[in-house]
Amino acid sequence: MKIGFIGLGNMGAPMAANLVNAGHDVSGFDTLEVTVEGVDIAECAAAAARGAEVVITMLPNGTIMRDVAAEIIPVMDKSAVFLDCSTVDLDSAREVAQQAEQAGLLAVDAPVSGGTVGASAGTLTFMAGGSEAGFAKVEPLFDIMGQKAVHCGGSGAGQAAKICNNMILGATMIVTCEAFALADKLGLDRQKMFDVVSTSSGYSWSMNAYCPAPGIGPQSPADNGYQPGFAAELMLKDLRLAQHAAESVDADTPIGKLAQRLYAQFVENEDGKGRDFSAMLPRFEKRGRGSEPRSD
């Protein structure tokens, strides 16, 4: 399959490489000078998209995704698939899907879970929205880049699933870090804490698969000085998207809102920027009661 891939950053580059390794012809573009083995680097986004059966985008936000869509939709072949794997706001996802469909294209929004490790290993989970026909055409690509793809519904449903998932993830990571900090002050050994919680009713992905305590559980960013697998500022972005969506449909999400405020304080007022989102643990280790978040 001839594939255009726009956005060859920490996530996009390994995803594109996996497609090349599976035998696909990939033309890519990024605003930064990048090299991905096997990917033909185009001079612009439109050049990467022209003649492709599927164009994949992996971009930082909805504004950039809209700009790229405006550039590539007019040059894409009819019946090609616009597959956006970015995590963006629902309005952007739905408006771009409508523009693509009006141009005779198939549109699928399919944000991912699994981080840079999953992108490299080809074990991402894709949460897809869009038509059945579009999903069916790109499903073989999901099998290469990931381990699971779920068709969640119409346009925007993939984004809805992603922000709901990451609202849970952000909140559970915070309380996991709080619990380790509390256990320390209560004199409870961290390994014993993990052994109990990871096999009891408090288990979660944040505890069992991505433990924020160094040297405890499976290998995680905590064991690498909290170098990001999933950066705290990206978690903040997703939590803000969740709150924006909640406001648009009048949903009461007080824990999600508090998680957003805590990550905003961590990233914008403390030392969280550029660190993994699990670096909340050393943050809580240094704090006592009465410290309230100061920023939304």
Residue among 162, 185, 192, 237 flagged as catalytic: 162
Residue 78 annotated in active site: no
How many Å apart are CA 41 and CA 47, to the nearest integer? 9
How many Å apart are CA 34 and CA 28, to the nearest integer? 10
User: CA nearest 91: which of 114, 109, 118, 103?
Assistant: 109
How many Å apart are CA 288 and CA 278, to the nearest integer? 19
Burial annotation 203-230 (CB, 10 A radius, 16+ → b, else e): ebebbbebbbbbebbeebbbeeebebbb
How many Å apart are CA 49 and CA 56, to the nearest integer? 9
> Residue holding tokens 């305590």?
213
Which positions are catalytic?
Answer: 162
